Amino acid sequence: MALNNVSISQQKGKGLSNDQFSSWTENVRHQPVKDLKLPTWNKCGRDKNRYVVLKDGTALCARYRHPLNKLVLGEVLSFYLSKLLKMDNVPAVVLSQLNQSSHQWNQHNLTAVDWQTDQYVALIQWIPDMDTRQSYVYMPSQILEGLESKSVVDVVSLADDNLTPTVLSQLVQWGSMIIYDYLTANYDRVGSMQDGAFREKDPSILKEHIRNLRKSVKTSKLWLIDNESGLLDAYDLLYKSGQNGKQFVTFHQQMLQTMCIFEKPLVKAIRSLHNTPEPYQTLENFARQHEPLLDQVPKDNSYSLFKTMFSKRLTDVYEWIQFCQSRQL
């Protein structure tokens, strides 16, 4: 079931348009950093990250993960994948090289925050109020029931539910997230909760608020935050961690095979990407066009996994969408 409903789009609100994104990136690249503030767990995360305020007041999270540069690279590539898929609910990302004498960083002692000069940070769009309880998101009952009963959420299963526009908007956004997290193999959102429920034999864990998923307090828009594991570290986990990795492969399959409701622009983008000769190169080149520092971030062996497994996971998604469409015939 593919949906292209104006009322749904209005219900969930809008992220950055392409023009707004271009202006935002230019601004972030050229503005000096005014404040570097300590993070909290709900506001920029790990100890070495920072909540950043630029001279003009623009707020960001700075992700510093050296020597695990694949987590910075994963954040960037995951964001540009969302752009390719016509999604506007993944916070924008710009790379910055740490240089004490640069216009951007010369007002701060980088050594004092335990950052090494010449390393790279991901500067990530801060979405207001993402650190409040009001922004928590829970798995929709329809998806939870489908997951538990191994059934599919589609137009037939929802026919008698008389869904409100708000609920339908949430389901559509979950459909996009499920596809996105399958492609990136993100283990730190729903996957980590499936893992917890499995390990502790406690299905109620899936009824808790979802990790790294937040809702705008002004609209019903879902924001997919903290995507550092995507495409690189996550592929390492899934395909090089033995039984634990295989379990996460299963978790992603379970989520994908629970949902058959997707937006038409996303379905069209998946089809277009799948039709390219080398989908990973399409993503890589798209990111490179917008991010001049992309090729300067050091890569490790996980990058070769991305090159081989991204196309396979994309084919999995493409074939699942075809299956969903066949159910409507």
User: Is there a single domain that holds both residue 217 and residue 103?
Assistant: no
Residue 148 lies in domain: 132-326
User: Is there a single domain that holds both residue 152 and residue 31?
Assistant: no
User: Is there a single domain that holds both residue 310 and residue 242?
Assistant: yes
User: Is there a single domain that holds both residue 118 and residue 162?
Assistant: no
The alpha-carbon radius of gyration of the chain (Å, integer) is 20
CB 254 within 8 A of CB 122: no
Residue ranges of E strands in 55-202: 59-63, 93-97, 120-125
84 assigned to some structural domain: no
Give the mean model confidence (pLDDT) for residues 212-228: 93
User: Is there a single domain that holds both residue 109 and residue 242?
Assistant: no
Q: Checking DSSP bridges between strand 59-63 and strand 50-54, what pairing results, if any?
A: antiparallel
Q: Report the candidate in 29, 209, 26 with the shortest Cα–Cα distance to residue 121.
A: 29
| pLDDT tens column, 98-123 | 999 999 999 999 999 999 999 999 99
Mean pLDDT of the residues in the chain: 94
Q: Give the pLDDT confidence score for residue 6 in this predicted structure.
A: 40
User: Is there a single domain that holds both residue 291 and residue 152?
Assistant: yes
Q: Checking DSSP bridges between strand 2-3 and strand 262-263, what pairing results, if any?
A: parallel
| pLDDT tens column, 137-182 | 999 999 999 999 999 999 888 887 788 888 999 999 999 999 999 9
pLDDT exceeds 60 at position 10:
no
6 assigned to some structural domain: no
Q: Give the pLDDT confidence score for residue 132 in this predicted structure.
A: 87
Q: What's the total number of domains in the chain?
A: 2
